[in-house]
Amino acid sequence: MSVTKIIEVSASSSKGLEDAVKHGLNKTAKTVKHIRGAWVNEIKVVTKDDGAIEEWRVNLRISFLVD
């Protein structure tokens, strides 16, 4: 039998949505072992005055196995 824990993480990137998700997962993997998946809860963009996207922001729920 296994137990899974879920934590919530916020991450951002000026490059794009996928990069923001990767950044959040990579940063979390430095201190959390056995990551099994993630849900993207929220997506937000920060824009410039002309409407151009300046930064992508995501809230992730990351699941991992508990030792």
pLDDT one-digit tens code per residue, 1-56: 899 999 999 999 999 999 999 999 999 999 999 999 999 999 999 999 999 999 99
pLDDT of residue 1: 86
- Asked if the model's pLDDT at residue 59 lies above 90, the reply is yes
Query: What is the model's pLDDT at position 67?
Result: 87
Domains of the chain: 4-65 (3.30.1660.10)
Between CA 4 and CA 34 the distance in angstroms is 10
Cα of first residue to Cα of last residue in the chain, in angstroms, is 11
Q: What is the identity of the amino acid at 38? A: A
For residue 25, the model assigns a pLDDT of: 98
What pLDDT sits at residue 20?
98
